[in-house]
Structure 1
Amino acid sequence: MTALPILYSFRRCPYAMRARMAVAVSGVQVELREVVLRDKPPEMLEASPKGTVPVLVLRDGRVLEQSLDIMRWALAQSDPKGWLAHDDQDLVLANDGPFKQALDRYKYPHRYDLADGSAHRDAALLYLGDLNDRLAAAPYLGGAQPAFTDIAIFPFVRQFAATDALWFGALPLPALQNWLSALVGSDLFAAIMTRYPQWKAGDTPVHFP
């Protein structure tokens, strides 16, 4: 048994971002362990041999290895903003599946032996166009305020936009661009992007949030 659940995280990983955002908004405290991906701690690999973040080790020893499971666990403990009332699993699955695949090939074409990622960029735009249409009716997918679906998707749209920010900013997707700008500029996002040193065994625990 440990004093707090342990969350292994990496600041710039979009999966870890969405997990941290849900934990932060829930107010459920965890011990945050910042990981360097090229130097993963053996304690994390022992808990989760797959070696990817985020990983949450609960006080009873159970391990959650998927970011969406971590989000839902945190919000099941405490959901003060009512995020779970808007959990559009079809949109999230489309984000984590076809959109993420297109994003990776657009951003890192050399990893997939592609001359460039333009075809995959265009494929990703179909999903983003659908999001823009949905957001034309309300500032967030969850309505007047962000909710689970927004936060599950947001870090990946941010990554897409940052690949070529000038090009993205010129797209005729004003509702999506406003949504992204609001989330990037939010106090919640600023709070979960605090820089922490790489965790090593024996370090003073970092309590989060």
Structure 2
Amino acid sequence: MKHNILYSFRRCPYAIRARWALLNTNQLVELREVDLKKKPIELIEISKKATVPVLKTSLNQVIDESIDIMIWSLKESNMDALLFKNCKSQEILSLIDLNDKEFKYHLDRYKYASRFNYQELKTHRDACYEILLSLNNRLKSFSNKGKPLFLVDAKESIADWAIWPFIRQFRIADISRFDQNHEIEFLRNWLNYFLNHEKYHIVMKKNKPWDKESKPIFFGQ
């Protein structure tokens, strides 16, 4: 194999952040859209979890965690400054950990309440908003100092890349409520930076599920 292959699913926030990192670090990747109800044997053979995203590199290394894919792409492109090699690195990791564990837990039970307990929808939505407010306050503090709206030290980092797809998913659950909530004004502006980014439509482009007969789709081309 002479190129990298990414098994992905368009709407999955974990896959979105992996694609975002790969695209923004200029990694040439063959994109294979996965039908989650009919996963290709090629994916199952290289990853026991068989959950997207999974990256198989040109050197046959298999990376099946989205954050590890992001870190790999940054290091391969000599853009690991976005990882912050100082005291801020722990701050970045803490924000991502909060998102991936606590926020995602409540997000699933809010957005997909019918699969869990619909009566607890408000409880989980409020728990999400509490986290969103904390992120908003971080951004507000930077804005008050005239600095850019990014989550750590007012500088774009892997924390921003890793978290925005999940905030996007939360917004989709009730767009009007999210867009009209002035308590998270700074967070909305931060999210809009990504939603209006020139590369957003590339990351979110619809592709047919991959099979052996499919012509290769090279990500970003």
Indicate whether the TM-score tops 0.5: yes
**Aligned ranges 1:13-32 → 2 under 5 Å:** 13-32=12-31
Q: Aligned residues, how many?
A: 208
8 Å CA contact 2:7–2:33 kept in 1: the answer is: yes
Question: Which amino acid counterpart does residue 34 of structure 2 have in structure 1?
Answer: V
Task: Write the distance in 2 (CA, Å) between the matches of 1:129 and 1:106.
Answer: 17
Residue number in structure 2 paired with 1:156: 166
Task: Write the distance in 1 (CA, Å) between the matches of 2:56 and 2:159.
Answer: 24
Task: Write the distance in 1 (CA, Å) between the matches of 2:36 and 2:156.
Answer: 30
- Tell which deviates more after alignment, 186-195 or 75-84: 75-84
- Tell which deviates more after alignment, 148-157 or 133-142: 133-142
- SS of match in other structure, 1:140: coil
Deviations 1:25-47 (A, max 9, x none): 11111111111111111110111
State the TM-score, normalized to the length of structure 1.
0.93
Unpaired runs of 5+ in structure 2? 143-147
- SS of match in other structure, 2:178: helix
Residue number in structure 2 paired with 1:185: 196
Aligned CA-pair RMSD? 1.7
Task: Write the distance in 2 (CA, Å) between the matches of 1:15 and 1:37.
Answer: 14
Deviations 1:91-122 (A, max 9, x none): 00000001000000011112123324100110
Task: Write the distance in 1 (CA, Å) between the matches of 2:156 and 2:35.
Answer: 30
8 Å CA contact 2:74–2:80 kept in 1: the answer is: no
Work out whether 1:101 is the aligned partner of 2:111.
no
Task: Write the distance in 2 (CA, Å) between the matches of 1:190 and 1:79.
Answer: 25
State the TM-score, normalized to the length of structure 2.
0.88
Deviations 1:149-202 (A, max 9, x none): 111000000111111111112221110011111111111222211222211113
Question: Which amino acid counterpart does residue 133 of structure 1 have in structure 2?
Answer: N
C-alpha displacement of 1:72: 0.4
The 1:190/1:79 distance shift into structure 2, 3 A limit, reads farther
Task: Write the distance in 2 (CA, Å) between the matches of 1:130 and 1:71.
Answer: 24
Work out whether 1:201 is the aligned partner of 2:200.
no
Residue number in structure 1 paired with 2:177: 167
Residue number in structure 2 paired with 1:121: 125
Residue identity over aligned pairs, in percent, reads 40
Residue number in structure 2 paired with 1:8: 7
